[in-house]
Amino acid sequence: MPDTMQATARAVGADVALRVESLTIDIRTKSGVAHIVQDVSFTVAKGEFVGIVGESGSGKSMTLMNLLRLIDNPNLNVSGHVWFDGEDLLALPAKRLREIRGGKIAMIFQDAMTALTPVYTVGWHIAEQLRAHRALSRRAARERAIELLTEVGIPSPELRVDSFPHELSGGMRQRAVIAMALACDPKVLLADEPTTALDVTTQAQILDLIRRLRTVHGSAVVFVTHDIGVISDSADSILVMYAGRVVEQGRTVDVLAAPQHPYTQGLLGSIPTPGASRLTSQLVSIDGSAPTPSEQVVGCAFRPRCAYAFDKCFTVPALRPREGQADDHLDACWLQRQAQMDLRIEAGS
Ligand SMILES: Nc1ncnc2c1ncn2[C@@H]1O[C@H](COP(=O)(O)OP(=O)(O)O)[C@@H](O)[C@H]1O
Ligand SMILES: [Mg+2]
């Protein structure tokens, strides 16, 4: 079994909410095939909060949207498996998938308006969700909508239920969308930068709300953000994406305590001192920009920006656990593997 699969395979069982295996997304363009997402695998345990981080263009949204096959583009080729409740979402008939979308798996976006139709009220949207997945009378759906608006902290919910989306602030709209997402008690909530468009205070409130709802409803959360700081306190585990690949993944405590990939270290703004037991908080910035999917970088995609690149980096490093690290903490970097080999040679073992 490839190393990348070991961690996921171990976690398979009754406690798994979602398991993504080798998700790969290509797009046919005029100038050829562009690789947008390559070989992404991860497991989301029931009730777990998984964060996906990486700079803009790294393939986070494409990964998330394609878990539910939300992008209808004939030039897109999606392969791999997305296991949910014993079914592969990538292989399900469209009708069955529609039942799961918004029901057992809900999604919220950066722009709450994406999920809202301007001419309908907040209450209508929530009632639609309820009636699509549950047999509820109109009256019962409205009552449940008011309950949900209360739960997500919208003031005067009996009045707000009749508001139109444009009558709410950005933060209140995002709360309303979360109420819609929760209408069917989803097993998994997929969130694509849901706080990015909001001011810092509102951002913290929405994140807090998602965390709280997760505790109350037991839903797992997959939270995508370009800002590792947003989820570092909330996520149980983290995937770091760069140019369509996962370059590091593991439990958040492990990744934060000992980031292995130079890109993760750059994101965290600190680099470990070799041999030191703690991180030194030395600020580093990552110069340059990530390659686009149509730009082919030979070997590791981070190589042109990496201060440590050496000859081995012209080959793509596999995502693997490293000696001395937790075995579910994986990284795709040659650097310390080489350093460990050198140490062994020096020690004569
Ligand atoms: N419809 C499309 N056609 C061609 N390229 C696309 C399309 N959608 C996204 N991409 C490309 O896929 C890459 C990943 O995009 P995306 O998943 O949106 O990144 P992120 O969410 O991490 O910012 C980007 O380089 C983007 O330009
Ligand atoms: Mg995105």
Domain boundaries defined on the chain? 1-104+186-349, 119-179
Q: Where are the alpha helices (DSSP H) in the chain?
A: 3-11, 60-67, 94-100, 122-133, 138-151, 157-160, 170-182, 200-217, 228-231, 252-257, 262-268, 335-347
Class of domain 1-104+186-349: alpha beta
- CA-to-CA separations, 224 to 161, 196, 232, 320, 340, in angstroms, rounded: 29, 10, 12, 22, 33
Ligand sitting nearest the alpha carbon of 53: 1
Element (H, E) at 191: strand 188-192
Query: What's the 44 CA to ligand 1 centre distance in angstroms?
Result: 23
Ligand sitting nearest the alpha carbon of 37: 1
SS3 23: strand
Higher pLDDT, 279 or 64: 64
In short, whether 336's Cβ falls inside 6 Å of ligand 1 is: no
pTM beyond 0.85: yes
Mutate to test the pocket of ligand 1, among 28, 31, 55, 62 (most ligand atoms within 8 A of CB): 62
Ligand sitting nearest the alpha carbon of 301: 1
**pLDDT tens-place string over residues 168-204:** 999 999 999 999 999 888 999 999 999 988 888 889 9
Whether 117 has a pLDDT exceeding 70, the answer reads yes
In short, whether 36's Cβ falls inside 6 Å of ligand 1 is: yes
Whether 318 has a pLDDT exceeding 50, the answer reads yes
293, 35 Cβ separation under 8 angstroms: yes
Whether 253 has a pLDDT exceeding 60, the answer reads yes
Query: What's the 250 CA to ligand 1 centre distance in angstroms?
Result: 24
In short, whether 123's Cβ falls inside 6 Å of ligand 1 is: no
